[in-house]
Chains A and B, each alone.
Chain A
Amino acid sequence: MTDTRNMIAETAERLFAAHLDSAVMDAAEAGTWPAALWDEIAANGLDRVLVPAEQDGIGGDWEDAFVILAAAGRHAAPVPLAETIGAGWLLARAGLDVPAGPLSLADDRARVPWARQAVQVLLSADEGCFTVHDIAAMGITPDRNVGRDPRDGITLSEDGTAHAGDVGMIGALVRSCQMAGAIAEVLALCVTYAGERVQFGRPIGKFQAIQQQLAVLAGETAAAEMAARNACRALDRGDDVMFAVASAKIRTGEAAGKAAAISHQVFGAIGFTDEHHLHYLTRRLWSWRAEFGAERVWAERLGRALAAQGADQLWPALTAR
């Protein structure tokens, strides 16, 4: 990792660890905006990692963004950081101003992440374009996903001008990065717990059945993180990113399902309680997996592209740089 990236990673980790305890999580999930956390994020510029320096951003790349998004995922951070980072990149790339404050992006007007909190919302429009909408010009119907993060319905008084940029693609990418982080945290929690929880006179991690499950989870964790980082690298190279982003959303989504199932099995009843923090992660994994296109949507799209290319282009596509 570069020095800057290391610094960004450490800042993100420190900041989430300091601000997110279960009291803050529970309050956020009940609708209280975690202002202290967001202010600290903004003070450190993490929300503007992909905004060029001339526009008051860090001017980083997607691999830098990955370390922030993964940290946000690890901590199940109940703030629209992923949305703001993604929207910032899209706005800057389209030559638009990136306003200060939380931003949102959505491919579905009935499920706009954090609309109630955002100063601007980017909505996907036809042909890889998006429109920008100020919060003042919207009607908002509050709702939440299973992660209990806001997913609000919005009504718009006007259509807005179209700008080039694929909201669905960027949304899928940031969700993949968050999932990669959350899955890694789920694995770490499981391994620790399996070493501590004693049944039949032994830590449950000594039982083969548990070991085999956690070995599977380790593989899923590795594959998910690699898929998400590959997609970030593809964006940084400026390639045609559909293959990489689709692969990331599919692979992290599948891993998310397994991680949630395995971790809840390993934790037993305590993991099913409100008191235990595992569910902050697993409820978000279920939600993120389905947002900005579930695996099915991306697999269908990717599969169509592969079929259109034909079998003889499969290997060249896999090995293309």
Chain B
Amino acid sequence: MPPLIFEPCDLPDEAEALRGEVRAFLAEELADYPVSKRAHSWIGFDGEFSRNLGARGWLGMTWPAPWGPGRSALERYVVIEELLAAGAPVAAHWIAERQSGPLLLRFGNDEQRALCLPGIIAGETYFCIGMSEPDSGSDLASIRSKAVRAEVKGEAGWVVTGRKVWSTYAQNSHYMIALLRTGDAGESRHDGTTQFLIDLSLPGLEVRPIRNLLGDEEFNEVTFDEVFVPEAMMIGAEGEGWRQVTAELAFERSGPDRFLSAYALLAELVRFVSALPSDATAGAHDAIGRLYAHLTSLRALSISVATRLDAGEEPALEASVVKDLGVTFEQSIPEIAQQILGIAPRLDGGSDFEASLAYVQQACVSFSLRGGTTEIMRGVIARGLGLR
């Protein structure tokens, strides 16, 4: 069995040095931001907040010159965990900064970088992800939306036809990074796909929000009706889409967003338990003690992976383990909170605890779907263990 490597690591001093600054910024910026909104975690959308964060230099921190200041991934780690713990509305820049920017740095060309990275680092350019399709979820390699080489009005490029679904915040985004079929899947089933940088204002492209079970419009259906995409907008190499996507997903797997997205509820649960009369605490201390124990070890595991990523390693197995543990933990919080609250949370006039429970209870069923389902993640871990 290949060993699981998780060395305990301390965040370096220069990263810790940022913590106080970020906390002070958030205390001021979010002074009036209610708990019911904080519970939305990284789904909370506020363009102005993202812009202010960019102005502080806290977006694209790790990007190398000339695109960014080239700071360490562990400094960024401190910034994002503080944002998440505060329940800051980070959604506007979240996908762009976490995933799309790093992807363009790694596989994109300079034209694409010049077009997008300055806007992302300023907190003004938003991205969405176009991977899933109506008939392709977990089985991403089966996608059918296609890009075909063409010359239109003398310009070389691709014509895109098909449909993407579940694209989070496509309705507010400027660009999508889409995975499209450009050739045969081949025997491995992993050939013949290519990634494209797609301007969402192009003609022939339609974005339609899909209301979710909370009644919110977050994810979308995006249809492409012969959308012309210039040649320079192909990302990386033709036919390499699958391998690039796999690398991209690794960026998002082990970060603190995989175990802090219900943090606001956890904090409200602790507040609730703190205020319980001493004859009504049965099981309540036990519950928060266990949650704390899970959270400390998860955070240490996540920092351990972040430290290896920062050193240029690719701990893919360990990253999947963190995501699986993290999602399991997050989903346990509303379950436990409901047991302790004992009564049904109300949607409107209730306490902060009720409001955050109401939100997370409904939202958390998606935690084990987005970014790869639990079953798929566990399959990845099993492969890492040498079982498949």
Residues of B within 8 A of A315 (CB): 85, 263, 267
Residue of A nearest to B271 (CB): A311
Among A191, A226, A233, contact of B297 (Cβ-Cβ < 8 Å):
A226
Whether the Cβ atoms of A215 and B385 lie closer than 8 Å is yes
Is B183 interfacial (CB 8 A cutoff)? no
Whether the Cβ atoms of B286 and A318 lie closer than 8 Å is no
Among B273, B318, B325, contact of A303 (Cβ-Cβ < 8 Å):
B273
Residue-wise, chain A 202-216 has the 8 Å CB interface mask toward B (1 for contact) of 000110101110111
Residues of A within 8 A of B76 (CB): none
Residues of A within 8 A of B318 (CB): 222
The total of chain A residues at the interface (CB under 8 A) is: 55
Residue of A nearest to B326 (CB): A219
Residues of A within 8 A of B266 (CB): 314
Q: Complex: how many Å from CA A315 to CA B85?
A: 7
Residues of A within 8 A of B324 (CB): 215-216, 219
Residues of A within 8 A of B293 (CB): 227, 246-248, 250-251, 298-299, 302
Whether the Cβ atoms of B273 and A307 lie closer than 8 Å is yes
Whether the Cβ atoms of B289 and A298 lie closer than 8 Å is yes
Whether the Cβ atoms of A296 and B286 lie closer than 8 Å is yes
Is B69 interfacial (CB 8 A cutoff)? no
Among A188, A302, A306, contact of B1 (Cβ-Cβ < 8 Å):
A188
Residues of B within 8 A of A229 (CB): 8
Residue-wise, chain B 263-305 has the 8 Å CB interface mask toward A (1 for contact) of 1001110110110100001001111111011111111110010
Determine how close the nearest CB of chain B comes to the CB of A317; give it in whole angstroms. 8
Residue of A nearest to B270 (CB): A311
Among A222, A224, A303, contact of B286 (Cβ-Cβ < 8 Å):
A303
Whether the Cβ atoms of A299 and B285 lie closer than 8 Å is yes
Residues of A within 8 A of B290 (CB): 250, 254, 295, 299, 303
A215-B382, A310-B271 as given contacts; A223 in contact with B325, CB under 8 Å: yes
Residues of A within 8 A of B8 (CB): 226, 229-230, 233
Is A14 interfacial (CB 8 A cutoff)? no
Q: Complex: how many Å from CA A247 to CA B297?
A: 8
Is B19 interfacial (CB 8 A cutoff)? yes
A222-B325, A233-B8, A304-B285 as given contacts; A194 in contact with B297, CB under 8 Å: no
Determine how close the nearest CB of chain B comes to the CB of A64; give it in whole angstroms. 14
Residue of A nearest to B267 (CB): A311
Is B321 interfacial (CB 8 A cutoff)? yes
A246-B289, A298-B289, A311-B267 as given contacts; A225 in contact with B382, CB under 8 Å: no
Interface size class of B (residues with CB under 8 A): 35 or more
Interface of chain B residues 239 through 276 with chain A (CB within 8 A): 263, 266-268, 270-271, 273-274, 276
Interface of chain B residues 314 through 342 with chain A (CB within 8 A): 318, 321, 324-325, 328
Determine how close the nearest CB of chain B comes to the CB of A300; give it in whole angstroms. 5
Residues of A within 8 A of B312 (CB): none
Stretch at the interface among B158-166, B171-179, B373-381: B373-381
Determine how close the nearest CB of chain B comes to the CB of A177; give it in whole angstroms. 13
Residues of B within 8 A of A216 (CB): 324, 378
Is A157 interfacial (CB 8 A cutoff)? no
Whether the Cβ atoms of A219 and B325 lie closer than 8 Å is yes
Residues of B within 8 A of A194 (CB): 387
Is B6 interfacial (CB 8 A cutoff)? yes
Is A192 interfacial (CB 8 A cutoff)? yes
Whether the Cβ atoms of B379 and A211 lie closer than 8 Å is yes
Residues of A within 8 A of B298 (CB): 223
Is A99 interfacial (CB 8 A cutoff)? no
Residues of B within 8 A of A282 (CB): none
Whether the Cβ atoms of A221 and B387 lie closer than 8 Å is no
Determine how close the nearest CB of chain A comes to the CB of B246; give it in whole angstroms. 18
Whether the Cβ atoms of B300 and A321 lie closer than 8 Å is no
Residues of A within 8 A of B270 (CB): 306-307, 310-311, 314
Is B386 interfacial (CB 8 A cutoff)? yes
Whether the Cβ atoms of B297 and A212 lie closer than 8 Å is no
Residues of B within 8 A of A227 (CB): 293, 296-297, 300
Is B4 interfacial (CB 8 A cutoff)? yes
Which of A211, A248, A311: most chain B Cβ within 10 A? A311
Whether the Cβ atoms of B292 and A306 lie closer than 8 Å is yes
Is B153 interfacial (CB 8 A cutoff)? no
Among A215, A224, A247, A321, contact of B292 (Cβ-Cβ < 8 Å):
A247
Whether the Cβ atoms of B387 and A211 lie closer than 8 Å is yes
Residue of B nearest to A192 (CB): B1
Determine how close the nearest CB of chain B comes to the CB of A188; give it in whole angstroms. 5
Residue of A nearest to B84 (CB): A315
Determine how close the nearest CB of chain B comes to the CB of A232; give it in whole angstroms. 9
Residue of B nearest to A191 (CB): B1
Could you show 13 A-B contacts with beta carbons less than 8 Å apart? Answer: A212-B379, A218-B381, A222-B6, A222-B318, A223-B294, A233-B8, A299-B285, A299-B286, A299-B290, A301-B289, A306-B273, A318-B292, A319-B81
